[in-house]
């Protein structure tokens, strides 16, 4: 599979008083990119995962490194890949780069665990998800 990248723009509600991307918004934008990755790249949209398959993927570990600021109106690209696929967990790596200069803005390491929505207990990665995620391993 080709690497997945989604283009976004810093909105007015994403910036702080000094007009740069407010640091907690990076986690939120990473979540939006991850949702797009599942929907558009893996063709496993979250509503289907949550409602039909009764599976959820809560975050259990999140590391963000900040390198350069983004400002209101800046366009940026978020690339998403899978770096580790365990029995019950998956680790995603994301890079945020300015759309024009390609400067690395932030990196995100995001670990999620698969759980049953009915019991909220950890479960093995469902086979259709495992197969799709494995195709995106870096």
Report the C-alpha gap between 86 and 112 in whole angstroms.
10
CA distance 76 to 100: 8
> In the structure encoding, which two tokens stand for residue 59, read together?
């975050």
Sole residue written with tokens 């800046």 = 74
Looking at residue 137, its pLDDT comes to 92
d(CA 72, CA 95) in angstroms, rounded, equals 19
Whole-number Å distance between alpha carbons of 2 and 20 = 31
Which domains, from first to last, does the chain contain?
A: 4-134 (3.10.129.10)
Q: What is the pTM (predicted TM-score) of this model?
A: 0.94
Backbone angles phi, psi at 117, to 5 degrees: -70, -20
Burial of 90 per CB tally in 10 Å (0-12, 13-18, 19+): buried
Model pLDDT, residue 75: 97
Question: pLDDT tens, position by position, for the chain (138 residues)?
Answer: 667 999 999 999 999 999 999 999 999 999 999 999 999 999 999 999 999 999 999 999 999 999 999 999 999 999 999 999 999 999 999 999 999 888 999 999 999 999 999 999 999 999 999 999 999 998
Contact 64, 108 (CB under 8 A): yes
Q: Can you give the pLDDT at residue 62?
A: 98
pLDDT at residue number 2: 66
């Amino acid at each position: 599979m080709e690497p997945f990248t989604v283009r976004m723009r810093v909105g007015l509600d994403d910036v702080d008083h000094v007009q740069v991307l407010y640091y907690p918004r990076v986690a939120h934008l990473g979540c939006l990119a991850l949702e797009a990755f599942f929907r558009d790249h893996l063709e496993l949209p979250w509503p289907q995962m949550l409602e039909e398959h009764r599976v959820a993927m809560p975050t259990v570990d999140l590391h963000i490194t900040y390198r350069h600021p983004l400002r209101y109106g800046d366009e940026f690209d978020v690339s998403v890949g899978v770096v580790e696929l365990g029995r019950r967990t998956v680790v995603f790596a994301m890079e945020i780069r300015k759309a024009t200069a390609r400067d690395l803005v932030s990196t995100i390491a995001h670990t999620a665990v698969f759980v049953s929505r009915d019991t909220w207990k950890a479960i093995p990665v469902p086979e259709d998800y495992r197969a799709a995620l494995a195709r995106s391993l870096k």
